[in-house]
Amino acid sequence: MKGNGSLSWRLSCYASAVAAVHLLASSCSPEAQPAQRSEKSEPTALAGEPQGVGKLVLAFGDSLYAGYGLAPNESFPAQLEQALRKSGVAVSVQNAGVSGDTTAAGLERLEFTLAGLPRVPDLAIVGLGGNDMLRGLDPAVTRRNLQSICGRLRERGIPVVLTGMLAPPNLGADYRRRFDAVFPDVAKQCGAALYPFFLQGVVTDSALMLPDRIHPNREGVQRVVRAIAPTIGAELAKAPSRQ
């Protein structure tokens, strides 16, 4: 991991790149709009059912989970499943990432997503909030939506790992302070495990990012998986199998 100055600079680049993407999307021709609506009409991108006996993990997030710009087997859920299995954990990680999702959109599709699973998952990994930040949405709204998502999962007895994001400096010190506090606060309130920054050690290295400077490439996802897999493994070890 490079110094804080480098991280702040990279986060600023990240925010600028995504702002450009949103601007481009808003100016697309009418012919492009049906494809966008079609993408959002599919609230999940679930992989196949679990193979054999083992734990079921729901990866519920945005494009960072969906695997934007990557082959299906290069996405975060797919690589996490591979890593956990190599470590001896019998597990299936279901990819429920949807590109562009805010916390509000995630909350809206949560029940539908859970209903589409083969059974109640043993663990849920939640990675939403980045698009809220990049659109400048009120962190109080992000907090409420994440609390509701985590709360509904916990009501079903599903343990949660929350993967956080950090706001870039160009959004201002006040916004940054309020947004960055959302994830540790929600994790504490909901009794969820916390991985503070999903792109830790990745966003600062251009070799680990796609050319859009927004999403990790295959090697970047590998770096994320190596860092977060111990947390996921520890939480799974505590969760009794539902099979």
Query: What amino acid positions are annotated as catalytic residues?
Result: 63, 212, 215
Q: What count of Cα atoms within 13 Å lies in the side-chain half-sphere of residue 11? A: 25
User: Which tokens belong to 190?
Assistant: 């909901």
- Identify the helix (H) or strand (E) that includes residue 55: strand 55-61
Asked if 136 and 148 touch (Cβ cutoff 8 Å), the reply is: no
Using a 10 angstrom Cβ sphere, with 0-12 exposed, 13-18 middle and 19 or more buried, the burial of residue 136 is: middle
Place of tokens 């990432």: 97
Supply the DSSP string of 99-161, one letter for each residue. Answer: TT--HHHHHHHHHHHHHTSSS--SEEEEE--HHHHHTT--HHHHHHHHHHHHHHHHHTT--EE
